[in-house]
Amino acid sequence: MRLKFTKIILMLAVAGMVSACGNKTEKNPDKMVRSGIQRIMTEDNQFNFSGSYQTEFIIQNNENKSSSEITEPTIASEVSASEEYDDDDSEVTEYYRKQRDLYNKSIGQFLGQFGKSFSVPFTGAVDMKKGVMEVIPEVRYEDKNVLISFKFPTYLDFNNLSLYLDGSAITHLSDTMPDNKMVIGDKYMQFAVSQDKAQHIPVADLLKSLPKSIDDGYASIDPSAFKKVNVDEFGKTLEAKYQVNLNTDYASSLKYNTVLLQSLSKALKETAAKADKNNKYKPEDYALLGNIIDALASIYSDSDNALADTPMGAYLEQLKNKSNLMVNNFYFDSKGRIIGVRFKTDLPMAITGMEEPKGTIRIDYKVRMDYTGSPKFTMQPTPQNSINIGARLGW
């Protein structure tokens, strides 16, 4: 009887330990996300991934509105009409309005159909321990009796600051063009920072600081914005155990970018201050990279918007004034690892520079991670199978 009682105690103890281990991931939602991202950056940083990027064009329907309810910007046809006809000529005004609405409706139908058939599926691999990353996007248009697909395998090597591109989807044809002075053949195209510049860029120190800086960025978001929710259909395909939803607006996103960049700049300054005379990089090397990061941070945080007269500045200014939600969903396995992410948002079409027709671009981005411990890469670039495009062009 005493032995049986001892066995029961041991079983309860083991059950308690298992339960405790199982509840280890049951943290606050914001901490779950921050911890999961840190694991991707520092621990589980060797994996394959796959996903898709899709857009949907939702065109504003003006057909059921009276002309007084429709506010449209001035377009070329209206300018011509106002110059050639009196403002009192209501028949002419109505004619041009109908022509404009018919044109916008046609463009809207075209964009709507295009969005349904267009997608960018992708696969890739990450091995941060070796400092390399690969992504293979496929630009795809598929519909009845038509399939158009282009793949552009891309390989990033942080060790030598190089980007390798397999452009054979295009170069196999462009190589045959008359007077082509740069035949690529079956080689990869390499875009690299010249060695005389690369040796003065402390990339390794930057990458070491990146995990903390990303965490600082997420820490700037109100913890109450993170919500644990039931696993949705996409999460079920991943066999996710938990799902955390994060809804932010563009102002919060810009703040996140600002905090991240400011944290990186601070870390570089601290590293430079600790560096001795035997350090690989000089103080001015850290200062140069830090100045670049500070300049980027000021773009996101500058309330006066110093780039207001540029396309990027105008774009950021519009983002600051939009209340559109950016919906982020993080999917976790039982070990607390992030095994998938889904991002959705709506962008006014005007924000892309397209004033007509009025409507919304709905973005849906999905990615899943497969932690194999030994990620498979499609590309294996070497000096022998690559062409340094920059060197060929005299960069």
* Residue 306 domain flag: no
- Do residues 347 and 361 make contact, with C-beta atoms less than 8 angstroms apart? yes
| Nearest residue to 252 via CA among 157, 352, 322 | 322
Name the band, by pLDDT with cuts 50, 70 and 90, for residue 9: very low
Looking at residue 322, its pLDDT comes to: 62
Looking at residue 156, its pLDDT comes to: 96
Is the pLDDT at 68 greater than 50? The verdict is no
| Nearest residue to 148 via CA among 177, 117, 172 | 117
Q: What mean pLDDT is predicted for residues 372-393?
A: 88
Looking at residue 368, its pLDDT comes to: 97
| Mean pLDDT score of the chain | 82
pLDDT in tens, 106-119: 887 888 888 899 99
* Residue 334 domain flag: yes
Helix axes 283-301, 311-320, angle to 10 degrees: 60
pTM (predicted TM-score): 0.80
Is the pLDDT at 264 greater than 70? The verdict is yes
Looking at residue 373, its pLDDT comes to: 82
Q: What mean pLDDT is predicted for residues 79-90?
A: 46
pLDDT in tens, 318-339: 666 666 678 999 999 999 999 9
Which helix (H) or strand (E) segment holds residue 233: the answer is helix 233-238
Name the band, by pLDDT with cuts 50, 70 and 90, for residue 6: very low
Q: What mean pLDDT is predicted for residues 223-232?
A: 96
Looking at residue 112, its pLDDT comes to: 84
> Whole-angstrom Cα distance, residue 193 to residue 38?
29
* Residue 297 domain flag: no
* Residue 179 domain flag: yes
Is the pLDDT at 71 greater than 80? The verdict is no
Lookup result for tokens 């066995």: 7
Q: What mean pLDDT is predicted for residues 249-271?
A: 91
Domain that holds residue 104: 33-249+324-392
Lookup result for tokens 């075209």: 110
pLDDT in tens, 27-57: 799 999 999 999 999 999 999 999 999 998 8
Give the chain's radius of gyration (CA, Å): 27
Name the band, by pLDDT with cuts 50, 70 and 90, for residue 355: low
Looking at residue 140, its pLDDT comes to: 96
Looking at residue 19, its pLDDT comes to: 41
* Residue 12 domain flag: no
* Residue 292 domain flag: no
CA 349 to mean position of chain CA atoms? 19
* Residue 216 domain flag: yes
Name the band, by pLDDT with cuts 50, 70 and 90, for residue 17: very low
Is the pLDDT at 7 greater than 60? The verdict is no
Greater model confidence, 292 or 356? 292
pLDDT in tens, 127-146: 999 999 999 999 999 999 99
Cis check for the bond before 357: say yes or no (omega within 30 of 0).
yes
Listed in sequence order, the residues at least 6 apart from 194 whose beta carbon sits closer than 8 Å to its beta carbon are 390, 395
Q: Which DSSP category does 186 fall into?
A: T
Query: Burial letters for 358-393: b for 16+ Cβ neighbours within 10 Å, e otherwise?
Result: bbbbeebbbbbbebeeebebebebeeeebbebeeee
- Give the chain's domain count: 1
* Residue 13 domain flag: no
Token digits of residue 129: 């321990």
Looking at residue 319, its pLDDT comes to: 64
